[in-house]
Chains A and B, each alone.
Chain A
Amino acid sequence: MKRIIVSRNRYFDSVFLMQVAQRMSAQPGIRDASALLATQANKKVLTELGYGDAGRDAQFAAAGSNDLVIALDGEEAAIGAIAVDPDSWLLHSGVAQSEQAHEPRSIREAVAARPDASIALISVPGQHAAREARSAVEQGLNVFVFSSNVALADELSLKNMARDKGLIVMGPDCGTAYIAGAGLGFANAVRRGPIGIVGSSGTGMQEFSSLVHRAGSGISHGIGVGSRDLSDDIGGVSTFTALDALEADAQTRVIAVIAKPPGKDTQAKLVERCARSGKAVVLCLLGADSPQARQESLRAATLIDDAVDLALEAAGLPAVANRDGAEVLRHKAAVAVAGMRPEQRHVRGLFAGGSLCYQTQAIFRDAGLTINSNAPIAGMKMLADPRKSVATTFVDMGAEIFVMGRPHPMIDATLRSRRLRDEAADPTVALVILDFVLGANASRDPVGDMLPAIRDAMQAAQHRGHRLDFVASVCGTDGDGQGLAAEMRALTDAGVRVFASNAQAAAFAREVALLLAARNAER
C-alpha cells in the first residue's frame, strides 16, 4: 500500500530529509520512502509515483512548500509503525532535542553568542535567503549563499551593501569556496599552495582545484562569487572584491578566474582589471572566445585543463603529463564506434556539475556539432521539455527545475538514475557521458549510487542487441573521503571508460559523435 503523511509548516533542509527517507526505506516491510517539502515539483513526482490518490487526497492537494510530506510504500503494518509517531524520525541525528532547543534562532543571536564569527553560510530556500544574507551583512559578516532562486535586485543590493562595509557576498548560487583552508559547500580535499581562484562556476572551481592538487600543487583560496556575478546586471561586484583580496594575499602567487562568459561590459572591465594585476592572472572563460588582449600578466583559456596548465606554468611548475592527444582519442573512439549498431546515432550527457555540462557543450560546439540542452550555451538548442532528451542532449541535472525542494544531484542520485533508465530505453543512444563529483557534502559514494542504473542501462541495451557505451570523469582528490582511486576503479570494473578530467571525457565523446555523424552521412 501507499500512504502520505502531511505535516503543516515544518521546515527541514532537503539533505536532512533525504537521510530521514533513507532510514525509513531501510525498515523491514518498507519498499520505498520519500520525505520532501511539498513544492509543486515534488508533488508532481510523488503523484507520478502513485501517491495522493490521483489528486483526491485533500491534505496532499492542499500542501505547499512550507509543508512536509512523508510518502511511504510498503506493508500496512510497517507503514503504520512509522505513521504512529513520524516526529520521532525527524530528530536531528547526533543532536539531542534539549541541545537543539538552545541553538540560536537567528544570525543576530548567533553573533551575540560568538562575537568572533566572520562568515555566514546560508542555504535556506531561495525565497528566504536574501533576508538572512542581509541580516548577516548587517551583523558585519561575510556571506556564502548556497541558495539559488534569489531575486537579481536583492543580489545587487546585498553585494553593494557588503562592498561598502569591506565585506563580500559569495553567491547566491555559490556551490563552493575555499577560505583560508576551510572548504565551504561542495569542496574537495585540496592542499594549500600558490594558486588563488575567483570563480563564478562551482564545479568549474572544484575541477580546477582538484586537477591542480593532482598535479602536485595547491590552492591558497578559492573565492566563489555566484553564477550571476559577472552578468552586466551585477557587474562583477564580488569578483572585483575577490581579485583585490587575492592580489593583497601573501600566499597567492598566481590568480585564476574560472567563469562562464561574462556580460559584454563586465568582460571588458574584467580583462582590463586582470591585465593590470600585479600578479600573473589566468582567465578561463568557459566556452568563450579567448580575450584578444594577451597581455604580459594575462593568460587566457577556455577549457579547465588548459587553465590548469597555464596556472602551473605561471607558478613555475610543470604542466600535467599523460593526457591523451587528439590522435589517441580518435583511435579509442573508432574502436568504440565499430561496436555500435547503425541505429545508434546519439550521445546523451547527464551532468551533476553545471559547469561540466557547459564545458562539454563548448567542446562539441568547437567541432561544429550542435546539441540540445536544458542549459544551452550560445549556438546550442534549448530543450522543449527538460525532462525529455532529443537527438544528442546534455542535461544539467542541477538546474533549478530538478532541485526545487530536493538535494542537488551530487548528493542525491535518484533523479539522475531515473533519467538514465529513460535514456537507455531509447534505441538511438550510442554513448552516455557522466560526471562524478567527490568531496565534502557530496554523496558518500557517488559512483555506487549510480551503478545499479548504469548496469540496468547496459542490460536494457543488450536485450535489443546493442552495446551502450559509457564515458565518465571523476572530480576529486586522493584526500576526499569517497576515495578517488576506489570510485574510478568501480567505474572501470563496470565497463565505463574513465578519463582524468571532464574535458578529456568530453573530447572522447566528441570524437565518437563525429564518427557517428560521418557514418550516418555515408548511409
Chain B
Amino acid sequence: MDNNFKDLLARKPTFVNVGVTTFCDSLAAAGYEVVQVNWSPPAGGDPEIAALLDDLL
C-alpha cells in the first residue's frame, strides 16, 4: 500500500516492531495494531557476513 508520509499523518498508523518488546506493548496498550518481529542477530551476529548474504540472496 502507499505509505506516503504526508498522507500518513491523516490516518491511524499500523506498526511493525523490531527490537525492544516493550515498545510493542505500549503501542498495543494504547489501541494500535502492532506486529512484533521475533528478531535475532543475522549470520551469527556478524553484520559484514549478513551484508554479503543480502547481496547474494
Contact = CB atoms under 8 A, between A and B. Distances in A.
**A and B are partners in one complex rather than unrelated chains:** yes
Contacts, number: 168
Given A13-B19, A13-B20, A245-B6, A65 B37 contact: no
A114 B37 contact: no
Interface stretch (A136-144, A228-236, A291-299, A391-399): A136-144
B39 A11 contact: yes
A168 B7 CA distance: 12
A118 B37 contact: no
Given A121-B23, A182-B27, A183-B30, A131 B50 contact: yes
Contacts of A114: 14, 16, 33, 35
Contacts of B14: 114, 116-119
A330 B53 CA distance: 63
Interface string B1-40: 1111110111111111111111111110010110111111
Interface string A123-135: 1110110011000
Given A114-B14, A117-B15, A141 B3 contact: yes
Contact of B23 (A11, A136, A184, A245): A184
Interface string A92-121: 101000001101111101110111111111
A110 B16 contact: yes
Contacts of A167: 3-5
Contact of A123 (B10, B19, B44): B19
Contacts of B36: 103
Nearest to A167: B5
B4 to A, nearest CB: 4
A113 B21 contact: no
A121 B33 CA distance: 13
A168 B37 CA distance: 21
A403 interface: no
A121 B5 contact: no
A124 B19 contact: yes
A121 B8 contact: no
A302 B32 CA distance: 35
Contacts of A183: 26, 30
Interface residues of B, number: 43
A332 B20 CA distance: 43
A180 B16 contact: no
Contact of A440 (B1, B26, B54): B26
A220 B1 CA distance: 24
A502 B15 CA distance: 32
B8 to A, nearest CB: 6
B22 A180 contact: no
Contact of A249 (B9, B25, B27, B40): B9
Contacts of B15: 117-121, 182
B41 A106 contact: no
Interface in A204-221: 220-221
A397 B5 CA distance: 33
Nearest to A241: B5
A335 to B, nearest CB: 42
Contacts of A64: 45
Given A118-B3, A140-B1, A66 B44 contact: yes
Nearest to A147: B19
Interface centre among B15, B17, B41 (most CB of A within 10 A): B15
B20 A146 contact: yes
Contacts of B20: 13-16, 123, 146, 441
A400 interface: no
A244 interface: yes
A136 B16 contact: yes
Contacts of B25: 94
A184 to B, nearest CB: 7
Contact of A245 (B5, B22, B39): B5
17 contacts: A16-B20, A64-B45, A107-B37, A114-B33, A118-B15, A119-B14, A120-B15, A121-B16, A121-B24, A131-B50, A132-B39, A142-B5, A146-B23, A179-B9, A180-B8, A184-B23, A249-B9
Interface of B: 1-6, 8-27, 30, 32-33, 35-42, 44-45, 47, 50-51, 54
Of all A-B residue pairs in the complex, the 9 with the closest CB atoms, nearest first, are: A123-B19, A66-B45, A103-B38, A166-B4, A123-B20, A440-B26, A124-B19, A110-B16, A13-B20
Given A118-B14, A131-B42, A249-B6, 16 more contacts: A100-B38, A103-B38, A104-B37, A116-B14, A118-B1, A119-B8, A120-B16, A121-B18, A128-B41, A131-B54, A136-B16, A142-B3, A166-B2, A168-B5, A179-B13, A182-B30
